[in-house]
Amino acid sequence: MSSAQRQKQFDLNRGTNATANENKITMNTNSNSNSPGQRKLQVSMERLQVQQPNINRRAAGSNWQAAAAVGSENQKQPAANMSGEDSNGTLSKSARARLKRKAQRNRYLAMDCEMVGVGFNGQDDMLARVSIVNKVGEVLLDKHVKPRAPVTDYRTAVSGIRPHDIENGEEFEAVQDEVVKLLHGKILVGHALRNDLAVLNIKHPVAHIRDTSRYKPLCKLVSNGHTPSLKRLTMAVLGQEIQTGEHNSVEDARAAMGIYNRIAADWEKYLERRQ
């Protein structure tokens, strides 16, 4: 081989190696651009574009209004779920269960009233305070009532009522109306409820009254058939002491409800047999 031929072969080999090196560099660059971190970022960007569609007017073109509507619906959805409603506006199963429990708690109400004396020597009763609690003892109403006649005996040692309590109270008619609305359609629990209903000047269906002073099996067990006091019943049935000083109508209402709750199953069966 001549020197000219050897030079030509050398140049040809050098060009081939250069091309191979360029291809290798290109492959390395592509492999680096497709590294795991970059591929993960690319996938995240693609997902972000799917989850949050561009509702820019210029980008959406003629479909801008439809895209905007989709975005607003996505924003409203969490609020509906927080309120216990699904996409159709109906209550979820858990929300319905909560409403049912609340309705059950408020189906049975216990009431107690505190009275002051009017007339000669304070012999006549006048409403001074009324309290109503639900089945679990939550206070639904507790109000003092303005006097409608001169008070001749506040009976503070028993009633716990003082002049400023009823002077700042609410009008009788307003409280009476509120009590009537609250008791409508409910089972009324209490002790000696005839007296409470009398000072409120209202009536309640006899079938919907559970009076702890008139439930004969309980009276026979606790006081040999005589009418027991609420204090005595509470100690006998619940093992709790109440009325250690001035009476509290909220405490008395809760005590009556506690007694009823303890013996409710037997009480209701007793009423069914009598009917």
pLDDT at 5: 61
pLDDT at 55: 44
Structure tokens at 262: 């303890």
13 burial type by CB count under 10 A (0-12 exposed, 13-18 middle, 19+ buried): exposed
In 3-state terms, what secondary structure has residue 236? helix
pLDDT at 25: 45
pLDDT at 158: 94
Percent of the chain residues past pLDDT 70, beyond the cut: 68
Q: What integer is the mean pLDDT of 179-188?
A: 97
Q: Give the DSSP letter of residue 106.
A: T
The distance from CA 159 to its chain's CA centroid, rounded to whole angstroms, is: 33
Percent of the chain residues past pLDDT 90, beyond the cut: 60
Lowest mean pLDDT among 53-57, 155-159, 251-255: 53-57
In 3-state terms, what secondary structure has residue 210? strand
Q: Give the DSSP letter of residue 208.
A: G
Calpha distance 74→55 (Å, rounded): 13
Q: What is the pTM of this model?
A: 0.66
pLDDT tens across 22-47, in order?
A: 555 445 444 444 555 556 556 555 55
Structure tokens at 140: 């639904």
The rounded mean pLDDT for the chain is: 81
pLDDT at 246: 94
Residue 10: count other Cβ atoms within 10 Å of its Cβ: 10
Structure tokens at 15: 């060009």
Instruction: Please check the confidence at residue 19 and state whether its pLDDT lies above 70.
Output: no
pLDDT tens across 58-105, in order?
A: 444 444 444 444 444 444 444 444 456 555 668 887 887 777 777 778
Q: What integer is the mean pLDDT of 194-206?
A: 98
Lowest mean pLDDT among 51-55, 193-197, 258-262: 51-55
Q: What integer is the mean pLDDT of 141-145?
A: 98
pLDDT tens across 214-236, in order?
A: 999 999 999 998 999 999 999 99
Instruction: Please check the confidence at residue 129 and state whether its pLDDT lies above 80.
Output: yes
Please tell me which residue, 68 or 7, carries the higher pLDDT value: 7
Calpha distance 63→48 (Å, rounded): 20
pLDDT at 71: 46
Q: What integer is the mean pLDDT of 156-168?
A: 95
pLDDT at 37: 53
